[in-house]
Structure 1
Amino acid sequence: MKYSLLKSYLPKEEVPGIRKELIKLALPAMGENVLQMLFGMADTAFLGHYSWKAMSGVGLSNQVFWVVQVVLIAASMGATVTIANAIGAGNRKAVRSLAWNSVFLAIFTGVILTALTPLSDVLINIFPNLEGEIESSAKEYLKVILSGSMGFSIMAVFSAILRGAGDTKTPMIVTGLTNFLNIFLDYAMIFGKFGFPEMGVRGAAVATILSRFVGAAILTYVIFKREEFQLRKGLVPPKWSSQKEILRVGFPTAIENFVFSTGVLMFANILLIAGAEAYAGHRIGINVESLSFMPAFGISVAITTLVGRYNGMGNKEHVLGVIRQGWILSLLFQVTVGIIIFLFPEPLIRIFTSDPQIIEISKLPVKIIGLFQFFLAIDSTMNGALRGTGNTLPPMIITFISIWTARLPVAFVMVKYFQLGLLGAWIGMIADIIFRSTLKLLFFLSGKWEKRAVLTRERVKELG
């Protein structure tokens, strides 16, 4: 092995500084992810108490939405990585060009996703075994969400621009404001409170898009005010070289998410073999599991930003030092959360449902996922490390291999032939997590990421 996570690569006196810098970036990103999770959990919790079938339908439509937003993910990840590298290289012209072209990509993506609104019913029909209320809820929610895609697009890309500049605090604050607005509107519009009519699923969707548009407006004001982007100096016409670099870096991550989301859709169909109750238990279990994603996301964002910056400087020792310290922090946070999930699954599940059958179905799988946080910590660390250096293609390939050779076949066999229901499906999910994280770690240790890291740095230097 060429590299190791057990070696520091930095002088002892520099380690506390790197760790402090990581935490400074990670904590707001963690806070943002907590708030993002609360955003989704609010819908799940309110709808879970309104109707578990409505909750399941909304969960399915959200999975479809994640599949169709490929370009949005490409623009977001590409903006973060290229801007971080440009700032590290000290290329102010490139920063301005990349920021403007990220804005154009955000608007373009919003238009494309909104144009899919008339196809919402067709998209939901990929699930062949839906019950009446679940199907109608999924179609209604997706139609409204797609119609408000511009707010999602602007929030995602503009937050990514700020993260690339090392500002993870502002996206957290804006997400917090929009989340509190969403929770209020969810309660009011789903159940018909404070003078609003009772709108059920449609109310949850309208609350979400209104909140996102408010967040988009705030972030637009912020990025045009920030000096490092120089957006107020005048419009920079769309430039293909900048857009190409953003998409070149971000597109493999988008495909990775597309592959993963498509796999999740197939996974949902496997769960539906076991019954609608098993899928409802899965949705609740995923929301509980998301507690461990909060620290993982924050630290991964911090690693991407700092690795990108030091890669732009050509400082390999600091790149490696950031990755090691990020891994240590990720382990500390995620294993702690995993212990809490393992010891107290039922109180966490009860946040989302009071149905005794759903609670009982969910308990054992949730306990099991708490035991595998070590592998999730490796996965999130490697994602941050490889993306920061522009190595977005290997994670995509690894995710494809892992989803289609581990998660789906193992889950199908366990559900269809061993009749293990939700537990069997989650055995397949755990097999995927272990396989995927191990392959990404082996790629990093091999040192094969260095060539792309150098290429990313050189290409960013040429932009302007």
Structure 2
Amino acid sequence: MQKRERNKFSLWMLAWPIFIELFLQFLLGAADTLQVSKISDDAVAVVGFSTQLFSALMTLFMTVASGAGILIAQRIGSQRQEDARTIAIMSVKISAIIGLVISVPLYLFPGQIASAFQLPDELMSLAKTYISIVGGGMVLVAVMAALSNAIRNTGNTKGPMYTAIGMNIIHVGMNYAFIFGKFGFPEWGLRGVAISTDISRLLAVVVLLMMFLGAFERQITLRDFKLYDNKLFKEILKIGWPLGINMSCWVFSQLLIYTYIAKLGAIELSARTYMNTLESFCFMLGYSLALALQIQIAHLYGAGKVQEAYKNSYRALWIGLAIVTVNALVLYLIGGKLLKIFTDNPEIIAMGVSLLGMNLLLQPGKMLNMGIGNALNAVGDTRFVMWTSITSMTLIATILSYIFGITLGWGLVGIYACMILDEYIRGLWVLRRWRQKQFIKKEEQKRSSGPHSSSGSKGATLEI
């Protein structure tokens, strides 16, 4: 039984389904971009802008889902299945409520929201349609994220992967039908893409919910969604709110960067959207390793195996660095040809090609952040990661990006240079923290105080 549990939480067994899931999400994004590009480059710009807006708002419910995910893995590692089950139920319920609160204003006021972020006037009509429909379905994203997170942190990374496969197939198929009016469907263009997005997400929620009900040792029933444990909820918030702020810093910095790029013009906005799609290819496998590492380390930490958790982080980091570097090099060599698949606008292609070399520097810095940052999160050291994000992203990713990109007139190149600097500063910062072994020292201190204290330390979070 222990051997099966150990294999279930091995890095490879956790990582490969996450990679397949992320790869399918990448294909979904690429297919979306490719299919939307057949409508117009303006439609691509709207989808790119809206994606950043939605990602920023997602941090509000991901605070609960992410914090709960880490605690679920820790509790399973310390053999506290009932606590893990209760935490999972609360995370789904609370995420759904937050998602609903987000959905209402997006559905009712899409134009006002787009105007607030200085979207160019020529994109406004498309933006109102897309933000209203996809934004109105953000409650589905909230529930889907909470369900996937809970299922994944039980060690079952295959379930969300299979769900992603089905969702991708349905979404791409409906995109084709709605954009071009095939199979008797109306030719709705970008409106059709938005409707396709909501339908595929709704189906994914239904499948994940069925999976979630049987994810723990004791079956979850619909009546169990009344469960609420104030002590456990406080633990979720304690570990989750710094995660939420960390995610918010990154997403809002990206949203501000998109606002800067919108000032440069629709061509620059389209180029950045295409580059986002290509860059996803680079860090996909590295990110899957980082997510798997977080689950593994949280499980080991909950079981009290802190030295093993510390060593495993470096193995995953070196593998991830090698992978993203090779992927970035491949993209550098063939990226120009790939851009021509998405658009025939020579200005957009030239702008994208100029950024491919900079991407070689960007991706290793991202991997360092993803790997070691997630390792710190897994042992509860979420506040330190939060403070590094607040400091670096505020000063470099947002303020310096504006100075170099807009004020000094360096454009996208200046913005990318600041993004690279931000990644490396944060990466070296969290690496230094990890090497200090604060969580190991704390665990050893608790063990030395006696068996009673040691047993109570399992799954604890690290105070800063």
Pair 228,355 (structure 1): closer, same or farther in 2 beyond 3 Å: farther
SS in 2 for 1:50: coil
Alignment correspondent of 1:409: 399
Confirm or deny that 1:353 pairs with 2:348. Answer: no
Alignment correspondent of 1:159: 148
Alignment correspondent of 1:137: 126
Confirm or deny that 1:268 pairs with 2:258. Answer: yes
Confirm or deny that 1:311 pairs with 2:311. Answer: no
> How far 1:187 sits from its partner (Å)?
1.5
For the 8 Å contact 2:67–2:239, the answer to whether it is kept is: yes
The one of 192, 196, 201 aligned to 2:185: 196
Equivalents in 2 of 1:319, 1:29: separation in Å? 20
> How far 1:128 sits from its partner (Å)?
2.2
Alignment correspondent of 1:106: 95
Tell me the number of residue pairs that the alignment of Structure 1 and Structure 2 aligns: 446
Pair 130,223 (structure 1): closer, same or farther in 2 beyond 3 Å: same
Pair 179,380 (structure 1): closer, same or farther in 2 beyond 3 Å: same
Alignment correspondent of 2:450: none
Alignment correspondent of 1:176: 165
Alignment correspondent of 1:223: 212
> How far 1:358 sits from its partner (Å)?
0.8
SS in 2 for 1:106: helix
> How far 1:448 sits from its partner (Å)?
3.6
> How far 1:121 sits from its partner (Å)?
2.4
Pair 284,48 (structure 1): closer, same or farther in 2 beyond 3 Å: same
List aligned pairs for 1:204-215, cutoff 5 A: 204-215=193-204
SS in 1 for 2:109: helix
Equivalents in 1 of 2:454, 2:73: separation in Å? 11
SS in 2 for 1:314: coil
The one of 327, 339, 351 aligned to 1:337: 327
Pair 89,123 (structure 1): closer, same or farther in 2 beyond 3 Å: same
For the 8 Å contact 2:213–2:219, the answer to whether it is kept is: yes
List aligned pairs for 1:63-102, cutoff 5 A: 63-102=52-91
The one of 397, 417, 425 aligned to 1:435: 425
SS in 1 for 2:217: helix
> How far 1:449 sits from its partner (Å)?
4.7
For the 8 Å contact 1:49–1:354, the answer to whether it is kept is: no
Paired amino acid for 2:334: F
Alignment correspondent of 1:22: 11
Alignment correspondent of 1:8: none
For the 8 Å contact 2:392–2:422, the answer to whether it is kept is: yes
For the 8 Å contact 1:104–1:238, the answer to whether it is kept is: no
SS in 1 for 2:196: helix
Equivalents in 2 of 1:275, 1:322: separation in Å? 45
User: Which blocks of at least 5 consecutive residues in structure 2 are unaligned?
Assistant: 447-452
Task: Kindly provide the CA deviation profile for residues 229-286 of structure 1, in whole angstroms up to 9, marking residues without a partner as x.
Answer: 5314962622222222223222212211222222112211222232221111111111
For the 8 Å contact 1:19–1:326, the answer to whether it is kept is: no
For the 8 Å contact 1:302–1:384, the answer to whether it is kept is: no
Q: Cα RMSD (Å) of the superposition?
A: 2.5
Equivalents in 1 of 2:97, 2:222: separation in Å? 22
Confirm or deny that 1:420 pairs with 2:410. Answer: yes
For the 8 Å contact 2:287–2:367, the answer to whether it is kept is: no
SS in 2 for 1:335: helix
Paired amino acid for 1:270: Y
> How far 1:458 sits from its partner (Å)?
4.7
SS in 2 for 1:198: coil
Q: What is the TM-score when the length of structure 1 is the normalising length?
A: 0.90
Task: Kindly provide the CA deviation profile for residues 128-149 of structure 1, in whole angstroms up to 9, marking residues without a partner as x.
Answer: 25132x2222222111112212
User: Which blocks of at least 5 consecutive residues in structure 1 are unaligned?
Assistant: 1-13
Q: What is the TM-score when the length of structure 2 is the normalising length?
A: 0.90
> How far 1:183 sits from its partner (Å)?
0.6
Larger deviation: 253-262 or 347-356?
Answer: 347-356
For the 8 Å contact 2:249–2:389, the answer to whether it is kept is: yes
Equivalents in 2 of 1:301, 1:232: separation in Å? 29
The one of 244, 268, 278 aligned to 2:268: 278
The one of 233, 240, 259 aligned to 1:243: 233
Larger deviation: 388-397 or 230-239?
Answer: 230-239
The one of 176, 200, 211 aligned to 1:187: 176
> How far 1:20 sits from its partner (Å)?
9.3
> How far 1:154 sits from its partner (Å)?
1.7
Identical pairs, percent: 25
The one of 224, 243, 247 aligned to 1:253: 243
Pair 214,18 (structure 1): closer, same or farther in 2 beyond 3 Å: closer
Larger deviation: 258-267 or 17-26?
Answer: 17-26
